Amino acid sequence: MEQQLKELATKLAASPIMAARQTAAPATQKAAEEQKQEAAKPKRKGLAERIADLEAREEKLKQQKRKLLTEQNKKERSARTHRFCEIGGMIEKLAGSSMDSDAKKDAFIDWLVKHYGK
């Protein structure tokens, strides 16, 4: 039975119909490949579309710039706050105690004005 199937397959492969199909297949594949290449090519946009694309890109860049500036300002504020805390800590250390009452704060400000004149 297997032998008969093999013989039938070889006869079928040698038939003129199969030969025509095999030669047509590459042409069909070639046409399909060309269609894929055409579809992959970028289509030329009109002026209005190109202008709209540029405006969208410009808006996106503005948003990125705003985000970066916000981040930069946040870092600067954080550094400034850190400096103020360090200076306050040094002043408390030099004053000898924490300035938890208004009287102590007023006395310290008077001392600063007396010695540094502001």
**Is a pLDDT exceeding 60 seen at residue 82?**
yes
Q: Which amino acid is at 28?
A: T
For residues 112 and 82, which has the higher predicted lDDT (pLDDT)? 82
Whether 36 and 63 map to the same domain: the answer is: no
In the chain, alpha helices (H): 2-14, 16-40, 47-95, 102-116
**Is a pLDDT exceeding 70 seen at residue 43?**
yes
Whether 65 and 116 map to the same domain: the answer is: yes
Residue 32 belongs to domain spanning: 1-41
Q: Name every residue whose Cβ is closer than 8 Å to that of residue 12 and which is 6 or more positions away in sequence.
A: 18
pLDDT of residue 40: 73
* Cα 92 to Cα 108: distance, rounded to the nearest angstrom: 10
For residues 111 and 56, which has the higher predicted lDDT (pLDDT)? 56
3-class SS of residue 89: helix
Look at the block and give the residue holding tokens 């490949």.
33
Whether 69 and 108 map to the same domain: the answer is: yes
- Select the highest-mean-pLDDT range: 14-28, 66-80, 92-106: 66-80
pLDDT of residue 10: 76
